[in-house]
Amino acid sequence: MAYDFVFKPFADMTPEDYAAVGFKSGLEIHQQLLTEKKLFCRCPAGHYSRAYHAEILRHMRPTLSELGEYDGTALMEFKTKKEIIYRINRETVCTYEMDDTPPFMIDEQALDIALSIAMLYECVMVDELHIARKQYLDGSIPTGFQRTTIVGVDGHIPYKDRTIQIIQLGLEEDACREVSDIGHRRIYRTDRLGMPLIETVTGPDMRTPREVAEVCQILRRLVRSTGRVRTGLGAGREDVNVSVTGGTRIEIKGVPRIPRIPLLTYNEAMRQWNLLRLREELTRRGITAETFKAGAEEIVKWVRRTNYQPLQAALAGGMTAYGVVLRGFRGLLNWQTQIDTYFHQEISDRVRVVACLTLLPNIVHSDSLGQGLAAGEWPSVKKALGAGDNDAVVVVWGSEDDAKLAAQEIIIRAKEASIGVPSETRQALCDGTNGFERILPGPDRMYPDTDLPPKTIAADRLAWLQASLPASIFQREAWYREIGVPKDLVEQLSMSPFAPLFETAVRERGLDPKLAAVILVHLPKRWKRKGIKLESGTAEAAAILDQVFEAIQGRRLFKEGVPEILEAALTSGRPVDVFLPNPEPGETPAPDEARIAGLLTGPRWQDDRRRKRRAMGLLMDVWRGRIDAAAASRDMDEALGKVRP
Amino acid sequence: MSDADLYKGYKGRALEVLQHFQTPVWCDATFVTETGRYTGIVLPRSETADPVHIVIKLRSGYNIGILADRVTGVEIYGRKEAHYKIPEKDFPYDPVRPKVKLLGTGGTIASRLDYRTGAVIPAFSPGELYGSVPELADICNLETEKLFGVFSENMGPEQYIATAKAIGREIQNGVQGVVIGHGTDTMHHTAAILSFMVQNSPVPIVMVGSQRSSDRPSSDAALNLMHSVKTAAESDIAEVMVCMFGPTSDTYGLLHRGTRVRKMHSSYRSTFRTIGDIPIAMVSREKITPLRQDYKRRRKDREVVINTAFEEKVAIVYYYPNMKPDMIDSLIDNGYKGIIIAGTGLGHVNKPLYPALKRAQDKKIAVYMTVQTLWGYVQMYVYDTGRDMMELGVVPAANLLPEVGYVKLCWALGQTTDLDEVKKIMLTPVAGEITEREPSNGYLIFQGGIPEVEEFISKYRK
């Protein structure tokens, strides 16, 4: 096929444009669960701290998969020869996380939550769980693998007029947080390590960047609607998979916020498309995987007197320099890949990650104009490498081992350009572009966990969980609309931890849906603004809210009085009853006719409308929330007819 | 092919269902149930797992189990059989490098997945080792020989004797050092018996294993192997040693004397510790650093002495309060010739055991006292009870570790039945199993939580 479509600026791209390039995207959403303990040990969950008491040093080596193959990422990570340092805090990490003690049995609370969420996705449930080891050789988990298991497959959620497939729902342990990664040393903080996490994998069913963000939002709302997942920074993270026609599935990791997704996926689609266009250009120049030619030489002699500061500093520090000639590549290092990003960036990224040359810039190339080496230096470097006019040259510097590895890696990446889009895991950057992180791992990195036996999920456990499952947000939202919950409150209410309370209030206490929704959505926000803290969380607030609904049901409290009484009850910790008028048996709390007549016969008023308004004001000052304002207004209308000032 | 091969590990209902749908293992298939469909490759099932589930590997690489009874249909697409094989590469030969022999006994130093049990089983050949730890070729010319493939708890006299003889043979053949791959659980028993059976070795004999199997990226196997091969090839310590991690970090290993070492943690990497003394040396990929000078030096000659005597009727009795004399009686009645008691404190047992000990004395059974505190010496004069016991023929065995005492008594009784001779052998140190003194840094179990210990831990990688 021809790659003649040219990407427009982000804002100008239409769904038809994305269809033209065959944009496809899927999501992997990670969400921490609200449990007391970690997944495979009994460390407390959710205690985070930068403080650490000791360090442990480890290296990672590739091992064979269950099917007897090495994983590509594993080999790449091994090439990098990193020293991994773990900072450990004795309060949050035990010998399990440090891989010095075998796993304990899986946390049942986490398992219940994961099973429930799989049911919300209407997954096909797994009868027997098998714990797998998913290899991560970057060191982000000290064992070198993540313990993970699939609890459900082949689910789906409704989206627009179609469904989005949920390929699988996994339950797994969270990884370390990277502190730094400089040269051959990578440092991790271990406080998050081992936290229970679910991974939701969707099919590649999204067709535009906007759809990806929307589906991500829906999935996030869905899991949060259970009230059993963690919220806050880092508790939910998503990876986005993107491909275009002729490209390959690229996984972008570490997307911090959903609104970032559209630009990020746009850039990735453009990157793949432009790499395919680059291949076309190479083919046009007669360069294919078979005819590709390149060479590398040590070139210190030719750049010893350079004024280019990074190279000068490296050579002064005893480093070496290599030159790489890419035959026929002239001009292509400046081939655009993403917004303000060019092909030489792909090369620099590889050098940074694989050869650990983390100090940037780490390469300089002959297509860069007016930057890097002086114009006079290029000819001698080119001559040393035997480079001709149609060739491109890349110079890299570092220790002998690193620079040599880097030179090889530059050749590998350039050759890949003649093949297409290499399968990679990429990193989301804050400007909406993405950078190379590692080779995309495949199913070869999976290995059965021989430390834990398979676990049967009994049918009665599933039945019990199914019975206690909250209605899905899709069902809830349909019902909310049906009973007249204001449109702008529907989504917020369905995600609210108080959603179950709404249902009892409306169905059992017969409350006006609009009133109940306003109370449950707006008032918690107001407390947050006012800094009212809920000591024992939403459970306590739910109990007090229920008392309020009971009072409304019993006509002892009316909507105008709700905020005040609710806040009084929350801040004092005393029951709502204490703040309600306590009528004698038989006495109605409402003002009697005489009092209303008295209010209406006050000062002279120009007209009945103003007379009533003033009287209502005076009445509500005293009785706010304790009488039904609408009923009082009707009483007043009636009285107006009888009472003359 | 038999059904046992076709339906590897399956039994009961799961086997019936697979047979009914003619879906042997390694089939790529979709299993249809009333609630939905599952697609993947049918895997063999562990023999210890239940008979009602079928295991498949999903396209994503994950494994799941399906309740066989729920399967209503199977669609088969093809077959993909796994061949788990560590890539083999010829171990490079370099005439200037020393020759080291690696003798394999089993254990997790090199291992692969076993579908029968779902656990890992040992795998081992120079080619496989080179394929997974290529760094070894920078140290030596390695030859390997698989003596047996047993887990360390299954090591016994037959294996001890065969190993000792193999070591003797290799030394005669001129190797620069011997490495013995061994499971870690009873490595210290084997290290001790080899210290007695192989005497006057002119070269290092290094025992090595791993606490995390080599099928894990964070395994200690590769580094332990590099350390042990380096020690065998380059060190001038001609003793039987255990070479395992010093700290849990991947930094250095320790070389422990074979008769003073013990596994002290069920799972830590740094589980081996020299008891009541200090290790012989530290070893890293770069260098070997001796911590003491009183070790036996490497020699050019080949005059090794192999003495594989072994009496099997020996037991360790781990004393506990309220132990009944029938524990000792049953050993006597079953014809045991030697008993090592791991006594409390300085070496004590309760009075009710005395008649039984008297019987043992009358039956000419060799009874030796060691301490279950592991650190420290037996001292039976401090209390009267100790003196009483010595009257009953119980011989205090100084600071011999209980397990070391056990294998030494096996070895001594294998050589003679004369109890005086046995006593002479037992109490004369052959390979540092009894030391004259305990240095003040021979007992250091730091207590976590104490400020200065925490400060130390924060400064040095554990």
Q: CATH code at A297?
A: 3.30.1360.30
Highest mean pLDDT among A178-182, B48-52, B91-95, B279-283 belongs to B279-283
Task: Respond yes or no: is residue B185 known to be catalytic.
Answer: yes
> pLDDT digit string (tens) for A504-546?
899 988 889 999 999 888 888 887 787 776 655 667 788 888 8
Least confident of A15-24, A94-103, A229-238, A420-429: A229-238
Judge whether residue B440 has pLDDT over 70: yes
Confidence of residue A93 (pLDDT cuts 50, 70, 90): very high
In this structure, of A107-121, A161-175, A560-574, the range with the lowest mean pLDDT score is A560-574
Question: How close A443 gets to chain B, by Cα (Å)?
Answer: 5
pLDDT at B353: 95
Residue A32 and residue A177 in one domain: yes
A363-408 pLDDT tens trace: 999 998 777 888 888 999 999 999 999 999 999 999 999 999 999 9
Percent of all residues in chain A with a pLDDT value above 90, rounded to a whole number: 61
Q: Does residue A375 lie in a domain region? A: yes
Clarify whether residues A167 and A234 are in a common domain: yes
Task: Choose, from B23, B105, B184, B274, the residue flagged as catalytic.
Answer: B184
Q: Does residue A108 share a domain with residue A135?
A: yes
Does the pLDDT value for residue B112 go beyond 80?
A: no
Stretch 401-460 of chain B: residues touching chain A, C-beta under 8 Å: 448, 454, 457-458
Are B70 and A444 in contact (CB < 8 Å)? no
Residue B227 in contact with partner chain A when CB distance is under 8 A: no
Kindly report the backbone phi and psi dihedral angles of residue B197, in degrees, each rounded to the nearest multiple of 5, phi listed first: -75, -30
Cis amide bond preceding A361, omega within 30? yes
Q: Which of A169-178, A561-570, B77-86, B192-201 has the lowest mean pLDDT?
A: B77-86
pLDDT for the residue numbered B115 = 47
Residues A164 and A29 in one domain: yes
CA A208 to chain CA centroid, Å, is 18
Chain A contact set for B248 (CB, 8 A): 56, 98, 100
Domain boundary among A228, A256, A283: A283
Does some domain include residue A121?
yes
Three-class HEC string of A137-199: CCCCCCCCEEEEEEEEEEEEEEECCEEEEEEEEEEEECCCEEEEEECCEEEEECCCCCCEEEE
Please report, rounded to a whole number, the percentage of residues in chain B having pLDDT higher than 70: 94
Tell me, yes or no, if B36 comes closer than 8 A to chain A by beta carbon.
yes
Whether A306 is covered by a domain: the verdict is yes
Query: Is 80 exceeded by the pLDDT of residue B332?
Result: yes
- What number is the average pLDDT over the span A211-219? 94
In-domain check, residue A300 = yes
Chain A positions in Cβ-Cβ contact with residue B249 (cut-off 8 Å): 55-58
* Owner of token pair 């796993």: A103
Which chain B residue has the Cα nearest residue A53? B458
Q: How many domains does chain A have?
A: 4
Taking the CA atoms of A443, A447, A452 and A454 in sequence, report the sign of the dihedral they define: positive
Of A47, A19, A20, nearest in space to A32 by CA: A47
Q: What ipTM does the predicted assembly reach?
A: 0.89
Indicate whether A410 and A306 sit together in one domain: yes
In a domain, A450, yes or no: no
Q: Is A552 part of a structural domain of the chain?
A: yes
d(CA B455, CA B233): 37
Judge if A555 and A638 occupy the same domain. no
Domain check: are A517 and A598 in the same one? no
Q: Which domain holds residue A392?
A: 293-417
Do A275 and A298 belong to one domain? no
The residue out of A236, A263, A283 marking a domain boundary is: A283
Residue B117 pLDDT class (50, 70, 90 cuts): very low
Residues A75 and A189 in one domain: yes
Domain-embedded: residue A429: no
Return the minimum-mean-pLDDT range out of A39-43, B347-351, B410-414.
B347-351
Q: Is the pLDDT at A449 greater than 90, yes or no? A: no
A533, A607: one domain: no
Structural Rg of chain A based on CA atoms = 32
pLDDT of B120 higher than 50: no
Asked if residue A431 is part of any domain, the answer here is no
Are A181 and A230 in the same domain? yes
Q: What percentage of chain A has pLDDT greater than the value 70?
A: 90
pLDDT at A204: 97
Which residues touch B413 (CB under 8 Å, ≥6 apart)? B311, B313, B314, B337, B338, B366, B422
Q: Check: CB of residue A587 under 8 Å from CB of residue A569.
A: no
CA distance, residue A126 to nearest chain B CA (Å): 6
Domain identity same for A237 and A332: no
> For residue A126, which residues of chain B lie inside 8 Å, CB to CB?
64-66
